[in-house]
């Protein structure tokens, strides 16, 4: 009898798990995109004549290298990267972003990445882009992939104008854990509420969040994440065409 009760409890547990919605989290730069939207935004502004190439390019390259090395000072980077937003009207920036999407971002969007997103959406999974790159740059990109929800680093806005500052916790490293937990809490949810939680990323900077989901997936990963994924038997996939 006891065995029968245990078997029923196991079956009920499996059925309950199967009935739960899954959540799929996607990093953006070098994961869904075959390139970095943050780094290339700086290059785009230089090409548009809105930034001085000599001074901006060198610092942009150094910050990007710091990111890859895992020692990026996120607040110094944001001070650098968000300053150009404060120098133009939001209307002008929105128009500029349309050109950026067409000329720079869409060539980085791969069919494999879109197919992955579509597979999760078709399964009824809650899909979220979670990225360290600021939400001004990334919201239209998430929308282009058909993903409604974005958690990015939020630029501060006052009186309809970007200030060059940051609002709240940057969505970077451990900050991604904080941001997804806060976002879910506001929805009355928690990561443990989902049957499965996926997180797709290319970067070792995302290990804090990858360690907290049930299904971490390395995507065209950097050497550090590749080694960690192999050690822990995580899947490693490519979304490049």
Residues with a known catalytic role? 27, 29
Q: Which of 228, 181, 182 is nearest to 205 (CA)?
A: 228
Contact 65/170 with Cβ under 8 angstroms?
no
Q: Give the relative orientation of helices 74-82 and 53-69 as an angle to the nearest 10 degrees.
A: 150
Contact 155/82 with Cβ under 8 angstroms?
yes
């Amino acid at each position: 009898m006891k065995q029968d009760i245990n078997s029923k409890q196991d079956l009920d547990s499996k059925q309950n798990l199967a009935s739960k919605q899954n959540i799929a989290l996607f990093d953006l730069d070098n994961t869904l995109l075959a390139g970095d939207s943050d780094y290339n935004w700086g290059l785009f502004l230089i090409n548009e004549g809105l930034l001085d190439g000599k001074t901006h390019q060198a610092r942009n390259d150094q910050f990007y290298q710091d990111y890859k090395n895992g020692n990026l000072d996120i607040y110094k980077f944001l001070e650098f990267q968000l300053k150009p937003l404060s120098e133009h009207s939001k209307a002008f920036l929105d128009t500029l972003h349309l050109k950026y999407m067409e000329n720079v971002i869409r060539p980085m969007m791969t069919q494999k990445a879109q197919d992955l997103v579509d597979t999760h959406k078709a399964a009824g999974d809650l899909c979220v882009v979670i990225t360290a790159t600021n939400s001004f740059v990334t919201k239209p990109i998430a929308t282009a992939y058909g993903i409604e929800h974005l958690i990015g680093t939020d630029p501060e806005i006052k009186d309809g104008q970007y200030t060059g500052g940051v609002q709240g916790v940057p969505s970077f490293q451990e900050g991604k854990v904080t941001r997804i937990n806060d976002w879910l809490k506001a929805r009355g949810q928690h990561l443990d509420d989902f049957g499965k939680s996926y997180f797709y990323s290319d970067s070792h900077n995302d290990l804090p969040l990858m360690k907290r989901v049930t299904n971490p997936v390395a995507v065209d990963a950097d050497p550090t994440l590749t080694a960690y994924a192999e050690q822990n038997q995580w899947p490693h996939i490519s979304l490049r065409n």
